[in-house]
Structure formats: structure tokens, C-alpha cells
Amino acid sequence: MTPEQDYHMSPEEFRQWGYKTIDWIVKYWENIENLPVLSQVEPGDIRAKLPENAPQTGESFEEILQDLDRIIVPGLTNWQSPNFFAFFPGAISGPAILGDLISGGVAIQGMLWITSPACTELETHVLDWLVDMLGLPEQFKSSGTGGGVIHDTASSACLAALVAAREQANADINKLVAYISTQAHSSIEKGIKIAGLRRENVRFIEVDRNYAMKPDVLEQCIAADLKAGLIPCYLAATVGTTSSNAIDPLAALGAIAQKYNIWLHVDAAMCGTAALCPEFRWIHQGMEFADSYCFNPHKWMLTNFDCTCFWVKDRTKLTQALSIVPEYLKNQATESGKVIDYRDWQIPLGRRFRSLKLWFVIRHYGVEGLQHYVRKHVALAQEFAEWVKSHPSFELFVNPPLNLVCFRYKGDDKANQTILDTINASGKVYFTGTKLDGKLILRMAIAQAKTDKANVELAWQLICEVAESLAVTV
């Protein structure tokens, strides 16, 4: 009998190609500043290079790796470039990538405690660590009634919190009202839509001159809704809005949420990481009012996507909203009540071993290493803001609380759009805009792992050059 054909990579082949893949990544990073930050391809360019049909027989891994350079790299917008200042960052690190690689190699499912106890217990433990690391209230620790879990994104965390809030209200869904600021992230509005609340029952609360939610307006709004027979159930506050990094006043909002028995969810997707440093913990003042809280280590804490840390004050409210236990998932450990089954803390059933990468990052950097980068990025942003303020053709739009600078060329939207488009088309730097008070605002988010002062200087130099050329042509 001839041995059966085996199409798998042998362990030795995996080792060989694993090394080459690591080498490929190192080379990609070393070359990243020579690549345009914003991909310069046109729609359809990438697909045009791909064969119409899948191959019938296997191809060599060498060819596959070559096609990365030939087909994929030109179509990347290089988020890991130190000249990437767009949107919010997605900072990564070596230990995070390797922790994630281990997660891929062991490839366990963490849906139940029994399906890999280490996946559940490491996650609970590291999220307890983070409560202390960030100076969050004790209510979020697993030793009490709370606890933490890793979600894919802040969108999903916000949706899970909302479903818990909706179930807590236990009333006609058509009467439930959710409150967010006009500056809240679009994912919150999307979550409200997914959870089935009526779109006309979302209140976009007015903001103050720093773009933070106005507590008095919120309370008036709640009163009006109650008078109209509606039922306030969910308030989403933001610590560091996407447009301008505004910090909603948690203490004042929280007192109102408590008074009216409304679930308070706090989204600190990017800025939460700042609380690693005691001097920035003021952003979380009032957090003791929060029923749930999330931030994304995959933005500013050097941990690969996806990794959103999500805590609740009362875990039973979350699990009651999300638990359904069929026969094929029953087991003694679950029935003993001694373990956490994280499937009941999230939207999907399946889950990857995501705490590994977070554990690796915290251990590799230590608290002090992580603090170092937060302080560095905030200092760079503050310096950039000074340059803006001292330049006659630019204005600072708001005082940057942390690492996001919102500014504007003293001209119309068209001029600002030209600056944005010209620089992004050059491929040297990538940054994005937003609208505040109907005006186009330029944003510099400074938080990529390898961003140094020279990169921020380069960006500012390019911005000034384009602005100068505008002044000449006008």
C-alpha cells in the first residue's frame, strides 16, 4: 500500500516557512518609511492582479510570499508607518504579534471554561490586573460582582452593554430611549440600531465648547422623555471622542444616570490607555457611576487588533442578557457555578485566546514601559499644538487634552481640504479630517508605536509648505 498523500505542511516545512514569514515581516517594517503611507492604488487594481479562479492544485509557499510583495503591499495603507496620523492609531508590538501567533498555533476555542480553562482564567486575571494598572474602580474586579472580558471592538462592547441595559429596563422596546452626545462614535448609534431601539428614540445631546456632553441638557431631555411616557434606559459617555478627543464629564452624567436608573456605559476606546499614567487619570473621574466601561489596547496600548477590554459592574446583568445554554454546551464545570463561561459575556459564541497577546505585552513592557509611550505621545502632541498656535496661518481648534490635535488653516474648507489631499497624495504622511461646527478640521492623532519627534516635524513641515503654496496661489 502506498502511503496516503498528505497535503499538510510538515512540522519542518512549517518551521522553515515560519522563519521566512518572520523575516518577511521584519523586512516590511524596515522598509515601511519608503512606502507611501496612504495606498496609491485605484479601485480594482488589486483584483486585476489576482487570477479569476482558485487554483486546482496547491502552489508553493515561496510563490505565495512573493505575491505579498507583488500584489498585496501596494494595496496597503501602512498603519504601522511612523508617519501615520489618521483616524485613531492601531499601535502594535513584537510581543503582541508573538502572543497572537501562539494563539493561532494552539488554536483553542475559549467559549466555555472547560474548552480551555487557561483561556478563561488568564483573561479574567489580566483584566483584573488592568483595573489596578488604570486606577479603575474596584467594582470592575472579578472578586466582587463585576469582571472583565475581551471583545473584538468597542462597537461590540457597546452593543453588549446596550442589550444588558435594554433587558434591565424590561419594558416595551418601542418606548426605550438612549442618550449619546452629538460627538459620540458612530458605532454607538449603530449598536442602538442593531439592538432594535427606534431610531427616533436616540437623543443626541448637545455639547459644550469643548465638545463634551452637557449634563443639564441631558437631564432636561430625560425629563421631557419621562413626561412623554418614554423610558430612558441607556447613556453612553465618551472619554476622548473621535473627532476632537472631548472628555464627557462622567461624574455629573453618572449622577444623573443613577438618579433615573439609566445604564451608564463609558467608551474610552483610544484614551483609556492614558490612565496608565497617574497624571492622566482625571479623564476617568466619576467612573464609579459606570455600569460598564471599555477601552482598546489595540489602539494605543501596543496590542494587535482585536483587543477591546470591557468591564461590567454587575456581571449577572450581562450574562442574563446574553446567555442561552443548549444541551450540547452543558458540562459539569458550568453547572458547578464555579467558573466563567465567556460565551455569555459577548455577542458571538466562539472566541480566540486573545488574552495571550495582552499578557505578553504587559509582561514585556512592564507598567513603566507602557507609561513611557503614553507620555511620549502626549508630549509630542502638546508640542505640535504649540507649533500650530505660534504659526500665523493656523489656529488650534481645541486645546488637546492628550494626544490628538485638532487644528485648522485660517482659510475656507476648500483650502483645508487641499492641504489634506495634497499631503496624503504625496504618500509621505497620512492624516485625516473631521467636521466640527460645520467646519472642516484637520486632525493629527499621535500614537503609533514607532512615531518619533522627527516624524511629527516632517508632518508639520509638509503642512506648512502646502499652506504656503496655497497662500501664493490665492
Pick out residues in 73-92 that bind a copy of itself (CB under 8 A).
73-80, 87, 90, 92
| Residue 412 touching a copy of itself (CB under 8 A) | no
Pick out residues in 180-199 that bind a copy of itself (CB under 8 A).
185-187, 189-190, 193-197
Residue 3: CB minimum distance to a copy of itself, A: 12
| Residue 113 touching a copy of itself (CB under 8 A) | yes
| Piece of 43-51, 219-227, 256-264, 392-400 that binds a copy of itself (CB under 8 A) | 43-51
Pick out residues in 292-321 that bind a copy of itself (CB under 8 A).
298, 304-306, 321
What number of residues does the chain have? 474
DSSP 8-state code for residue 70: I
Residue 76 or 462: the one with the smaller Cβ distance to a copy of itself is: 76
| Residue 255 touching a copy of itself (CB under 8 A) | no
Q: Distance between CA atoms of 261 and 251, rounded to whole angstroms?
A: 15
For the purposes of burial, counting CB atoms within 10 Å of the CB of 85, is it exposed (0-12), middle (13-18) or buried (19 or more)?
buried
Binding test (CB under 8 A) with a copy of itself, winner from 373, 384, 394, 409: 373
| DSSP string computed for 115-131 | T-HHHHHHHHHHHHHHH
Residue 10 or 473: the one with the smaller Cβ distance to a copy of itself is: 10
Residue 243: CB minimum distance to a copy of itself, A: 6
Pick out residues in 137-156 that bind a copy of itself (CB under 8 A).
152-153, 155-156
Binding test (CB under 8 A) with a copy of itself, winner from 33, 135, 145, 173: 173
Binding test (CB under 8 A) with a copy of itself, winner from 1, 2, 59, 437: 59
CB atoms closer than 10 angstroms to residue 302: 26
| Residue 427 touching a copy of itself (CB under 8 A) | no
In sequence order, the 6+-apart residues with CB closer than 8 A to the CB of 361 are 93, 95, 96, 99, 297, 301, 302, 303, 370
Residue 194 or 464: the one with the smaller Cβ distance to a copy of itself is: 194
Q: Which helix (H) or strand (E) holds 441?
A: strand 439-445
Pick out residues in 258-287 that bind a copy of itself (CB under 8 A).
none
Q: Distance between CA atoms of 272 and 150, rounded to whole angstroms?
A: 15
Torsion of CA 458, 459, 463, 469, to 10 degrees: 40
Q: Which helix (H) or strand (E) holds 439?
A: strand 439-445
Q: Distance between CA atoms of 132 and 141, rounded to whole angstroms?
A: 9
